[in-house]
Every structure is written in C-alpha cells, then in structure tokens.
Amino acid sequence: MGAWYEQFFYLAIALPFVGAALSSPIGRVFGRMAALVLALFPVAGFLLIFALSEEVQGRQIMLAGFDWIPAFDVRMSFRLDGLSYAFALLILGIGALIVVYTGGYLEKSPRIRQFYAFILMFMGSMLGLVLADDLITLFIFWELTSITSFLLIGFEHEREAARRGAIQALVITGGGGLALLAGLIMIRETTGLSSLSEILDQPEAIIESGAYVPVLILLLIGAFTKSAQMPFHVWLPNAMEAPTPVSAYLHSATMVKAGIYLLMRFFPVLGGTPMWEIILPVFGGVTLVVGALLSIRQSDVKLMLAYTTVASLGLLVMMIGIGSELALEAAVLYLISHSLAKACLFMVAGSIDHGAGTRDIRALGGLWRTMPVTFAAALLGAAAMGGLPPLFGFLAKEEVYAATAEAGGLYAWFVTGAALIGNSVMFATVLIVALKPFIGQLPTGLRKAHETGILVWFGPLFLGVVGLFAGIFSQVTHQFISNPMAPPSLDEAVAITISVGFHLGAALYLSIVTIILGVLLYRRSQVVRARIATLLARIGWGPDRGFDQVMRGLISGAFRLTNFLQPGRLDYYMRVTFVVIIGALWFSLIRSDALPALPEFPRLYFYEWAVLGILVLGLVVVANAPSRLAAVVSLGIQGLAVALLFMLLGAPDLSFTQFMVEILSVAILALVMTRLRLMPADRRPFREVIPELTIAIAGGLGFALFLITVSQIELDTSVSDFFTRYSYVIAHGRNIVNVILVDFRAVDTMGEIAVVLTTGAAILALVRIRVSKKDRAGVKRKRRALEGGGL
C-alpha cells in the first residue's frame, strides 16, 4: 500500500529520533568523533528529502500517513510539497552542521550525550511539524518543539537565568500552542476539514465558514508567540541563556521559523483579507523597528544577534502580511538567507566566546590575527545579513524593497519606512558583531585567545560560503529551494528570477541608502547605544518585567484559590461536598417537577420491622454516643442492618461483602481510636449544631425523595436481562455479581484494584510520617491558632 516515497517520509522523520535514542551509546563508543557519526542521521534525512526534489519541482504533492485515533478522525499523516520540502532541507542541513559544531563546542561538557539527544529530538519534532498534514499531528509536533526547546534552553539548569529563560519560552510558546490548538479545532468543527491537504484544496472554506475571525486570531497568537513578535518577543533574548548551539539552531532556522511556516502555510486560505493585511504588517513592522533598535543597544554578541532575529522575524511577518507576489517572494528569499546567515553568525558568536572567553564587544578586539577563520566566517555572515552583493542576502533585501515600494499609497510609506529603519539598524548591528571583536588592538585580557577546532569553525564557514555561492549561482538556488518554497503560497507558479546582475530601480536606491545609514550608525554606535539606554531607562517597564508580574500574579492567585478550596479542614470539605450534593438533588427534583407521589404504607414482615428498628436504634445511639469509640461501633450497626436487608432481599453476595467491609472498617477505626487518646465526643451548644442539622435533614429528605422517585419509574431491565441470560453461556459462571466483576467488566475491576493498591501505598506513606516532639508542639500551636481564628 501507498506510494514508494512513503517510506522516505517515515524514515526521514524517524532518523533524528533514532539518532536521539542512540546518542548515548554512540557517544560512548565513538568518543570525540560521536558528533560526526550523529550528524549522519540528519544528513541521511537531508538526502532522503532531497531525493524527492524532482517531484517537488514538478509540483507534485506527496502524502503519507495512517489512521491514528480513528474514533476522532485523527490521522498521523504527512505531506511533502514545496514549502515543507524547503523547510525540511533547512532544518536537516543546518541541523547536521549544528550537531558537528556541538561536538567541538561542548566537548568538555559531561552531559554532551544528553545534549545530542535533546537537539536531535528537537530536530525530529521540527521536521514533523513542517511535514505534518493532519491538523492534530501538526499541533502535536508543534508542542513537541516547545517541550524539547524547553529542555535545550534550560540545559545548564544549574543557573537560575537558564531556568527562567526555559520556563518563559515554554510558557509563552506553549501557551500560544494552546491557542493554535483551539484554532485548529475550530477549523475542523466549522469546515469539517481535518488535514492541510483538504483545506488547501478548498481555499474558500475557512473564510466562508463564519469562524474566520476567531480562527485567524487564534492561529496568529500561535504564530506570533512562536515567532517572537512584539510583545511576545521577550522569550527569545532570554533564551540566549542556552548553550550557543541551541541559539544557533532554534533561533535562526527552526523554532522561531515555525510561526513563519504556519503563516506561509495558511496564507492561501486565510490571507488576502483586510484583517490579514493590517494585523500582520503592523505587528511585523513594530517588531522589526523595535527589535532592531534593541539589538544595537546590547553589548553581548549573542543578545545583539537575538534582537536582530526578533527584527528579522518582524520583517518576515510584515512581508507575508503584505501578501503580494513580490512580497511573498521576498519573504521566501529572506527566510532562506536569514536562516543561513543567522546560524552562521550565532556559531561565530559561540566561537568568539569559546576562543576569547567573553562575548562582550566592549572587551573584545583584534582577534583577526589569532582567529582568522572565524573572522572570515563572521564577515560572510554579516555581509549576508546586511545584504551586500553578491551574497544571497542581497537578493533577499532587494526583493523586500521592491515589494514594499510597490505596495501602494500610505501603506507603502509605512512598510518601506519600517524596512529601511530596520534593515539599516540591523546592518549596523551585524557590522559591530563582525568587525568590532576582530579589528583594532588586542586587549591585554585576550592574550590567550586562540582559533577554535575544526568542528567549531567548520559550520559557520560552510554556511557563509553557502550564502555566497547561493547568491552567485542564484538560478540554481532558485530552482532547488526558493521556487519550490514559493508556489504553495502564491496563486500560480511564478518563477523567482532575481539575480545579482545589474538592476536599477527603487530597490537598489533603497539598498544604497540602507548601507550608508548602516555605516553611519556603526560609526556612531556608542552614542546610539547610550541614547537608547536612557530612553529605555525612562520607560522603565517592559514586557520582560511584565512577564514576571503576570507569573507572580498567577502564582499568588493560584495560592489563594487553593487556600480557598483546600483549607485543610475536614469539616469544611464535608460541608461543601454535602451542600453541593444536596443542591444537585433538590435542584433536579424541583426543576424537572419529579417530586414523587407518596408511596402507600408498606406492609412489612415482622423481621423487616425488626431490622428497621435496629437501624433506628443504632442511629439514636450514634447521635448520643458519649465517646467517639461508642459512636464508631454503633455506626457499624447501620452497616450490619443494611447487610441484613441485602440478605433478606436475596442478594447474599452483597450482604456478605457488606458484612466484611463493615467489620473491617469498624475494626480498623477502633484500632486507631483505641491508640489515640479517647476524648469524649464534642458537646456543643445547640445553636452551633443547627447548620449541620439543617444539612443532614435536607440531605436525608433529598435522598429519600430521590430513591422514591427512582422506585416509581419503570426500570429498564435490558442490562440485567443480558447478564442473566449470558453469564453462564459466555462466562461459565452462575454468580452474576462475580461474573460481572471478573469477566464482563474485568477491566473496570483491574482499575479498581489498582486504586486499592495505590490507596494502600499512600496510607502507608502518610502513616510513616512521624512527627517529632518539637514539631508536634508546633502543629498543636498551629491547630490552636486555626481553631481560634477559624469557623
């Protein structure tokens, strides 16, 4: 069954996970070469996907999958078209380089094998996300990326900042994921379509379904949180607490691009409306400008790069929002270029840290003599980010300006302005990153700086060179990557043709302006940084602090709610439980007008009267028992009387069990009671008893009415008929109760005995908590305080 390429899919998605599972043994066996061996997994996946490039260029859409939860029509299904193909290649290609880089960068970490496992798991999740076809599959992989990135960001969990960054990323992107889930379920419910393929086949379905606005908003929350749009961007810079390979991977080519992928994927079915064309460019534009301005004020190389990533993501969202043919082409080119260049630059940042021991640009300088290869990689990466010819980034930036310039009217001014400011500031930032640490005098603190090993410098240099050749041989790049990526987002196949060749026009002029502005900013970066710092100090409040405040509020709110619901007082629980039950009973009885007719006076045999008498007698004794032990024992009378009733009414099994349970519970309670100091039962004045008395009377009456009602309704005996008829035929047993327990409903019983076992273990644990004498005094004091101030 299935087409020949199905195996390719499954294998490609499985490979990273297999690598993750094997990372520990491989790490043990191959030692320092483990990185190279583990990199073979993504490389193999890359080749598998690349082997399908001919089909992709022929615009063939390849599907594979199997039913997963048929009852809910959920499939585990995958789809390969141009968009997912290009993303998959980026994820696997850059992923392989990152694995190699990790081998050098974390060489000395004792937990490097664990890191391999995490990053390969993340890679697999990301791959599954871009290849997913079914909406629920998509969501599962989406959240998997959140969880695995949490593990990665918090990898150095000894540091508080790393933990905070990890939790923040998880809360923000995971929360966005829940919004996404809601959106996807709404799509399924309103249109009845459950996979991307079906949705993309009926592009009008969502817009016409009437749920367009909520679906759009929910999906945008998902995309914006994942892709770090203002004001959700805070997690991205804070995630820089992760080891550099994580930053180089998650924050350049993968995780943050998941939101972009989502927007591109849903553009044909959600895009093109006025809402889309306003919300996205506004959020994107603001993110672009603010992100760029924040990037230049930083002094930590990684943070600078992190904020330029925020800005770049803003630019991408803005482009997808504009939604014209040119804009989408620009988004595609920019995405590819940014993934390559940013991964390269992040790895360079790590290399600087590794080689020189610091990432602060104020302390860096003159490294070009000792770290020439890293310098070369940095220059290539910066040139690509800044969009200098003949690198691929240049093509991307030209297309961006071409798209904004033709957008028309006031809109064009806004988007062009945002792009111009953002690009020039980003250019200045990457210039600082690529030049400042390397040129000038070598500070005395850096005498020991040294070039890093081949594992570390290979990745960035390779990506830099790829960016260069991708620009020079642009037709090949377009054929294999950019063109397949673009069509699903566009109406009809439009080949991207832009090359480095000479072209005059608004775009080129804007490019020149960008470069001039960027260089000017670079030369005056000290002043700019100071200005932005004072501005921020004056504002004083930011989303990052806001996040903390929200979290604190959440925790204290939860604390208060818990205290309200779980004050730790048994009488409170009992009261609430009974009041709720009584409310439900009376409400339904009165509401449905089901108050029963009074039953005729029963004619009982004398022994039934006797049982009833025992019951009432026992009740009177319980209510008036002088000590607690007496109360417990006489409470047992009720149970025994009920057991007697069962016996008289022909249920020996039930009565038997009831007897035993009653005896054992009385015995155990008595056991506890005799060991405790047997305080006499509480005597309280009558007015204090009134609430409990009311509850008891209301409850007793309610239950009585309920039972009378039940007995006056004709019973549906089909179930008991079934058991009577089949218990011997099917289950070879004449005792129906037992047959039901161990045969017809054996799985239920299994669950129940599991509960019994757990309860036993839990009680054991509780009993074992021995309170020392000192603590005992404290507990008493607390109890007294509670009783004094409590009800």
Partner 1 sequence: MRTVIFRVTAPYLTSLMFLFSLFVLLRGHNEPGGGFIGGLIAASAIAVYGMAVGVEAVRRALFFHPIAYAAFGLVLAVLAGFVSIFAGFQFMTGLWAFPAILGGDVALSTTLLFDIGVYLVIVGAICAIALSLEERYSD
Torsion of CA 778, 780, 782, 783, to 10 degrees: 160
- Residue from 756, 777, 786, 791 in contact with partner 1 (CB under 8 A): 756
| Contact status: 588 vs partner 1 (CB under 8 A) | no
Q: Which is nearer to partner 1, 511 or 655 (CB)?
A: 655
767 is a contact residue toward partner 1 (CB under 8 A): yes
Q: Which of 667, 697, 707, 786 binds partner 1 (CB under 8 A)?
A: 667
Q: Which stretch binds partner 1 (CB under 8 A): 217-225, 281-289, 399-407, 731-739?
A: 731-739
Query: Cβ of residue 76: shortest distance to partner 1, in angstroms?
Result: 23
CB of 671 to partner 1, least distance (A): 6
User: What tokens were used for 149?
Assistant: 């990135």
Question: Does the footprint of partner 1 cover residue 410 (CB under 8 A)?
Answer: no
Position among 754, 777, 779, 785 found at the interface with partner 1 (CB under 8 A): 754
Report the candidate in 669, 667, 692, 697 with the shortest Cα–Cα distance to residue 682: 692
- For residues 381 and 383, give the distance between their C-alpha atoms in angstroms, rounded to a whole number: 5
773 binds partner 1 (CB under 8 A): no
Name the segment binding partner 1 (CB under 8 A); options: 390-398, 509-517, 590-598, 742-750: 742-750
Per CB under 8 A, which region of 191-199, 216-224, 230-238, 739-747 contacts partner 1?
739-747
Tell me if 768 contacts partner 1 by CB under 8 A. Answer: yes
Question: Of 148-156, 426-434, 440-448, 725-733, which segment contacts partner 1 by CB under 8 A?
Answer: 725-733
CB of 70 to partner 1, least distance (A): 17
Contact of 632 with 606, CB cutoff 8 Å: no
- Is residue 779 close enough to count as binding partner 1 by CB under 8 A? no
Closest to 496 in 3D by CA, of 318, 328, 341? 328
Cβ-based nearer residue to partner 1, 638 or 749: 749
Q: Residue 279 has which token pair?
A: 């919300």
Look at strands 74-80 and 62-69 and give their pairing.
antiparallel
Query: By CB under 8 A, which span of 295-303, 530-538, 539-547, 670-678 interacts with partner 1?
Result: 670-678
Question: Least distance to partner 1 from the beta carbon of 659, Å?
Answer: 9
* Cα gap 91→107, rounded to integer Å: 23
- Whole-number minimum distance, CB 742 to partner 1, in Å? 5
Q: What is the DSSP string of 679-698?
A: PBPP---HHHHHHHHHHHHH
**Minimal distance, residue 597 CB to partner 1, in Å:** 36
Whole-number Å distance between alpha carbons of 88 and 127: 6
Applying CB under 8 A, among 210, 440, 613, 652 the residue interacting with partner 1 is 652
Closest separation in Å from C-beta 745 to partner 1 = 9
Query: Is 367 one of the binding residues for partner 1 (CB under 8 A)?
Result: no
Question: Could you tell me the smallest distance in angstroms from the CB atom of residue 767 to partner 1?
Answer: 4
Q: Toward partner 1, which CB reaches closer, 664 or 704?
A: 664
Element (H, E) at 234: none
CB nearer to partner 1: give 506 or 668: 668
CA distance 699 to 576: 12
Q: Site for partner 1 (CB under 8 A): how many residues?
A: 40
Does 761 sit near partner 1 (CB under 8 A)?
Answer: yes
Considering the complex, what minimum distance in angstroms separates the CB of residue 664 from partner 1?
6
Integer angstrom CA distances of residue 180 from 76, 143, 286, 454, 527:
18, 10, 23, 42, 42
CB nearer to partner 1: give 360 or 743. Answer: 743
Report if residue 696 touches partner 1, rule: CB under 8 A.
no
Among 617, 757, 786, 791, binds partner 1 (CB under 8 A): 757
> Closer to partner 1 at the Cβ: 390 or 733?
733
Spatial contact of 340 and 467, defined as CB atoms under 8 Å apart: yes
Shortest CB 712 distance to partner 1, Å:
30
C-alpha closest to that of 261 among 133, 84, 479: 84
Tokens of 411: 């809109």
Taking CB under 8 A as the criterion, the residue among 410, 679, 729, 764 binding partner 1 is: 764
Q: Which of 660, 678, 777, 785 binds partner 1 (CB under 8 A)?
A: 660
Smallest gap from residue 650 Cβ to partner 1 (A): 11
42 closest CA partner among 30, 50, 52? 50
Q: Comparing C-alpha atoms, which of 447, 463, 456, 498 is closest to residue 477?
A: 498
Q: Which stretch binds partner 1 (CB under 8 A): 291-299, 498-506, 578-586, 746-754?
A: 746-754
Q: Which residues contact 10 (CB under 8 A, 6 or more apart)?
A: 64
Binding region for partner 1 (CB under 8 A) out of 103-111, 389-397, 678-686, 740-748:
740-748
Minimum separation from the CB atom of position 71 to partner 1 (A): 16
CA distance 706 to 588: 10
Query: Token digits for 136?
Result: 């629920």
User: Which position among 687, 732, 773, 774 is part of the footprint of partner 1 (CB under 8 A)?
Assistant: 732
Residue 656 lies near partner 1 (rule: CB under 8 A): yes
- 231 preceded by a cis bond (ω within 30 of 0): yes
Q: What angle do CA 603, 607, 613 make, to 5 degrees?
A: 90
Cα–Cα distance between 552 and 557 in angstroms, integer?
8
Any contact of residue 508 with partner 1 (CB under 8 A)?
Answer: no
Instruction: Provide the 3-class DSSP secondary structure of residue 157.
Output: coil
Q: Do the beta carbons of residue 427 and residue 434 sit within 8 Å?
A: no
Does 279 interact with partner 1 (rule: CB under 8 A)? no
Is the CB of residue 163 less than 8 Å from the CB of residue 157? yes
Among 209, 358, 479, 657, binds partner 1 (CB under 8 A): 657
Q: How deeply is 693 buried, as exposed, middle or buried, from its count of CB atoms within 10 A (0-12, 13-18, 19+)?
A: exposed
Rank residues 684 and 770 by Cβ distance to partner 1 and give the closer one.
770
Closest distance to partner 1 from the beta carbon of 146 (Å):
34
- DSSP codes joined into one string, 437-497: TTSS---GGGTT--PPPHHHHHHHHHHHHHHHHHHHTHHHHIIIIIHHHSGGGSSS-----
Given the rule CB under 8 A, which of 98-106, 436-444, 680-688, 734-742 is the region that contacts partner 1? 734-742
Binding flag, residue 724, partner 1 (CB under 8 A): no
Q: Which of 476, 671, 689, 697 binds partner 1 (CB under 8 A)?
A: 671
Residue from 154, 136, 2 nearest 63 by CA: 2
Tell me the closest approach of the beta carbon of residue 753 to partner 1, in angstroms. 4
Task: Point out which span in 188-196, 209-217, 403-411, 755-763 binds partner 1 (CB under 8 A).
Answer: 755-763
Query: Please, what is the minimum distance in Å from the beta carbon of residue 195 to partner 1?
Result: 30
Nearer to partner 1, 539 or 769 (CB): 769
Phi, then psi, of 83 in degrees rounded to 5: -65, -50
Running DSSP on this structure, what letter comes out for residue 240? G
CB burial readout 654-685, b (16+ within 10 A) else e: bbeebbeebeeebeebeeebeeeeeeebeeee
Toward partner 1, which CB reaches closer, 543 or 733? 733
Greatest Cα-to-Cα distance within the chain, rounded to the nearest angstrom: 112
Which is nearer to partner 1, 608 or 743 (by Cβ)? Answer: 743
Q: How far apart are CA 333 and CA 495, in angstroms?
A: 12
Residues that bind partner 1 (CB under 8 A): 652-653, 656-657, 660-661, 663-664, 667-668, 671-672, 675-676, 731-735, 737-739, 741-743, 746-747, 749-750, 753-754, 756-757, 759-761, 763-764, 767-768
